[in-house]
Amino acid sequence: MPVDLVKAPPLMLRAAGLDEKWLQDQIQADPSILGLGELEVAGREHRQPVGGRIDFLLRNTEADTYYEVEVMLGALDESHIIRTIEYWDIERQRRPNAEHRAVIVAEQITARFFNVLRLLNRAVPLIAIKLSAFRTTESNLVLHPVTVLDIIEEVDDDHLVDPTELSDRPYWEKKSPSTLAIMDKIASMVKASGVEPRITYNRHHIAIGSSGRNFCWFHPRKAQGRGHVELRVGSDIRDAVLSQLQSNGVDASPRETRNIAFGTTVPELERQSVHVTEALKQAEAASK
């Protein structure tokens, strides 16, 4: 069957008679349109103690990660960059035991501000999303998110970890033995594949690497015997690895542009050992 190619130039939302409230309503109804995975809305126009309101506070409940999101129509400007980072800093002080990401969403991000964001990204886990609109019919629009800047991989390397955040195995034996048991099971899978795992114990998570960057992270869950696993496989193969896991019974979901996350237990890992081991191999290979 022949396929017709239709050109659809980007449409500025204000030119379509739509405002920022309309865009916020779409995000409220379906946060996944930002391309950050399945997140829940923890707050909209969330009031800050220093004055002002952040557009959205989104949360990944499995990873206990918060996204402080600032949305604007048109071209990105200085005030929105400052506001996004300010709100991110406030929220991470409010919830120091959770992970936090500063997210800025705009229709246009110029080269000048992209360079500014890239420099800031060395100190702040900052995500920049260019959200484009395309008209498909007279009454229908498509919103297409492109992550133009993601958090840098180097923040997960051992040599960049804050020394005050480092911990040890006895700490985790007391804090979350179930998380430790899951980590031990996955570490044994990595070792069985011929790779010697390098384990780093931090106060809020455990990381596994090998000869390259860390590629696997563990976070505790409240449910007894259950833990949260996150793998970095890279953007090139993320969707293929995700599909393979899901088709074989692993309740995995996408995280940002390069990662896969899933909740699990030791018995589940034993049942899904072949498929999880294959995903671990691919994550380890991508870490070098």
Lowest mean pLDDT among 16-30, 78-92, 122-136, 141-155: 141-155
Lowest mean pLDDT among 65-79, 156-170, 208-222: 156-170
Residues 12-26 pLDDT 10s: 999 888 999 999 999
Residues 234-248 pLDDT 10s: 888 988 999 999 999
Residue 139 is which amino acid?
S
CA 81 to chain centre: 19
Whether pLDDT at 1 is above 80: no
Residues 239-276 pLDDT 10s: 899 999 999 999 888 877 788 889 899 999 999 999 99
Lowest mean pLDDT among 152-156, 163-167, 209-213: 152-156
Share of the chain above pLDDT 70, in %: 91
CA distances to 14, 16, 25, 142 from 138, in Å: 15, 10, 20, 12
Sheet containing strand 252-255, edge to edge, reads: 198-201, 206-209, 216-220, 227-232, 259-264, 252-255
pLDDT of the residue at 151: 72
Q: Which of 218, 230, 231 is nearest to 176 (CA)?
A: 218
Q: What is the pTM of this model?
A: 0.59
CA 237 to chain centre: 16
Residues 148-169 as b or e (16 or more Cβ within 10 Å = b): ebbbeeeebeeeeeeeeeeeee
Whether pLDDT at 124 is above 90: no
Is residue 66 within 8 Å of 77, Cβ to Cβ?
no
In residues, how long is the chain? 288
Is residue 202 within 8 Å of 165, Cβ to Cβ?
yes
Residue 154 banded pLDDT, cuts 50, 70, 90? very low
Mean pLDDT (the chain, rounded): 86
Please name each of the domains of the chain with its CATH number: 14-151 (3.40.1350.10), 156-286 (3.90.1150.20)
Map tokens 């239709």 to a residue: 6
Residues 185-198 pLDDT 10s: 999 999 998 899 99
pLDDT of the residue at 130: 92
Whether pLDDT at 223 is above 80: no
What SS3 state is found at 42?
strand
What SS3 state is found at 287?
coil
Residues 61-116 pLDDT 10s: 777 789 999 999 999 999 899 989 999 998 888 888 788 999 999 999 988 888 88
- Residues 37, 201, 212, CA angle at the centre, nearest 5°? 70
- Residues 201, 206, 207, CA angle at the centre, nearest 5°? 100
What SS3 state is found at 74?
coil
The DSSP element (H or E) to which 218 belongs, if any, is: strand 216-220
Question: What is the average per-residue pLDDT within 22-40?
Answer: 91
Q: Tell me the β-bridge partners of 91.
A: none
Pairing of strands 126-137, 99-106: parallel
Whether pLDDT at 156 is above 50: no
Is residue 116 within 8 Å of 245, Cβ to Cβ?
no
pLDDT of the residue at 188: 95
**Phi/psi at 77 (5° precision):** -130, 175
Whether pLDDT at 57 is above 70: yes
The DSSP element (H or E) to which 65 belongs, if any, is: strand 65-71
